[in-house]
């Protein structure tokens, strides 16, 4: 059985790998030229990410501390600046990015990150 800490690390790694797929597809000059297995791998990894996030959320239910909520709030404040930075990128080089390909994948992954951030922080701080 995985500890809460190892589950939080696995979820973070899966989040990073899963987020790379829509980002690379959006930056690709010809996303249709990517092999079909890339889309299948994206779907499988996205499903695995959702499962890991749900398990992490359920395992930390009732364990969230004030410290976890405060840390998540600080992260939210940083992430708001990232979103502003993405708006700047959109205005500067938006015509070279295939937003219709990557935006949906990045948006729901961002929502999942923000939703599970207190649970992730709590699980990461767990020593047992």
115 Cβ contact list (under 8 Å, min separation 6): 53, 57
pLDDT string in tens for the chain (128-residue length): 788 899 999 999 999 999 999 988 888 877 778 888 988 999 999 999 999 999 999 999 999 889 989 999 999 999 889 888 888 988 888 788 888 888 889 889 989 998 999 999 999 887 65
Torsion of CA 82, 84, 89, 92, to 10 degrees: -160
Torsion of CA 38, 40, 45, 48, to 10 degrees: 180
Residue 7 CA to residue 56 CA, distance in Å, equals 7
Q: How many beta carbons lie within 10 A of that of residue 3, not counting itself?
A: 13
């Amino acid at each position: 059985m995985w500890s809460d800490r190892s589950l939080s690390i696995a979820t973070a790694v899966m989040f990073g790998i899963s987020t790379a797929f829509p980002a690379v597809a959006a930056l690709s000059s010809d996303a249709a030229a990517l092999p079909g297995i890339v889309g299948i791998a994206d779907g499988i990894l996205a499903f695995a990410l959702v499962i890991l996030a749900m398990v992490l959320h359920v395992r930390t239910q009732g364990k969230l501390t004030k410290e976890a909520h405060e840390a998540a709030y600080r992260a939210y404040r940083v992430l708001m600046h990232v979103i502003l930075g993405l708006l700047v990128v959109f205005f500067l080089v938006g015509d070279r990015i295939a937003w219709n390909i990557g935006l949906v994948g990045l948006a729901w992954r961002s929502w999942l990150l923000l939703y599970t951030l207190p649970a992730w922080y709590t699980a990461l701080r767990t020593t047992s």
